[in-house]
Amino acid sequence: MIDPITAMAAASAAYNGIKKAVSVGREISGMAGSISQWSKAVSDLDFLEKKAQKPPMYKMFSDTQSSALELWSQKQKLAEMREDLRAHISWHYGPAAWEEIVRIEAEQRKQQRELVYKKQEFIDNCINWSVGILAFFAGSGILFIIVYFLGARQGKW
């Protein structure tokens, strides 16, 4: 399960790595690992934000308010990091380098969506269906018991 703290830690580590590499003068192609890590962390936080807006049924009664607020603050920090990276990379390598990073980020999001998020959504759907079926059978059992005892009390069986 992806959590905002882990995703933000990964984004911060990648941000520091990219910024240090740019300062030293490394080529962007040599920063592929850091850029990939940054892109995955950004993608994870976007996924968590979408998930917080429409939580699964089994999480309806959990404290989504505080997690949404935490996620919002993480997204604000990420936006600041993004703008700083954009300015830093554009200054050292030109705007074309930032466009390349944005393209890589888009590819990472697509890959993450196909590999990780669909699996998580499948697990959430399975849990939702299991909880729904369990609630249905529990409700049916309680209704059966009530009808049985009412019938027994009236002497019908």
Domain coverage including residue 39:
4-111
d(CA 101, CA 31): 10
Please choose, from the candidates 23, 19, 157, the residue with its C-alpha nearest in 3D space to the C-alpha of residue 101. Answer: 19
Top mean-pLDDT range of 1-10, 19-28, 119-128, 135-144: 135-144
Residue 142, in any domain of the structure: no
Over residues 88-115, the pLDDT tens digits come to: 888 888 888 888 888 887 887 788 778 8
- Our count of domains for the chain comes to 1
| 104 within a domain of the structure (yes/no) | yes
Residue 100 lies in a domain: yes
The answer to whether the pTM exceeds 0.85 is no
Domain presence at residue 153:
no
In a domain, 120, yes or no: no
Residue 99, domain member (yes or no): yes
**How far apart, in whole angstroms, are the C-alpha atoms of residue 37 and residue 109?**
11
Residue 54 counted as domain residue: yes
**Of residues 24 and 142, which shows the higher confidence score?**
142
In a domain, 148, yes or no: no
Percent above pLDDT 70 for the chain:
89
Tell me the mean pLDDT in the region 72-89: 84
